[in-house]
Amino acid sequence: MNPTIHQFTVKDTKGNDISLEKYKGKVLLIVNTASKCGFTPQLKSMQKLYDEFKNEDFELLAFPSNDFGGQEPLEGEALEQFCMVNYEAEYPIFDKVHVKGRDVSELFDFLSDKTKNGQINSKPKWNFHKYLVDKNGQVVDYFLTITTPNSNKVKNRIRKLL
């Protein structure tokens, strides 16, 4: 059995520790986001996807990051408010993290490195890189920035895992 994301603890926008173990038994789409990116409108597509699957053991987790072009100037609860007010986001939005480089968060280091997750090698090359995690917490797929969250490609993979 490969390692899972359930071993990690992350921070919410209020600075509280959240164990990813709470998502055991759910299919997850984990996305690195930014509020000032050309792909920011994907936040609306993320909500549409969330609306479609939220009643079926699915969760979408957003992790803002300032790693690409300084496109995430917001901090703390302002991150959550931006997504809620502008894109009616109802999915969990976590505190800002690094998704690449020497300060990469433990979660994104795990998600992007096959030697750690046992499945895929895919480091984010830009904002809105997406990782698909099965109900057991194993990384099973990824989608590049240009793949919209509510595309048939993403939805079909989620359906197979549900």
Catalytic annotation on 37?
Answer: yes
Sign of the C-alpha dihedral computed for residues 59, 65, 69 and 72 taken in this order: positive
Which residues fall within 8 angstroms of residue 78, CB to CB, at 6 or more apart?
13
Calpha distance 154→139 (Å, rounded)? 14
Indicate the pairing of strand 130-133 with strand 139-143: antiparallel
Calpha distance 60→55 (Å, rounded)? 12
Report the run of H or E that residue 59 belongs to, with start and end.
strand 58-64
Active-site choice (27, 37, 46, 60): 37
Calpha distance 99→157 (Å, rounded)? 23
Q: Which residues are catalytic?
A: 37
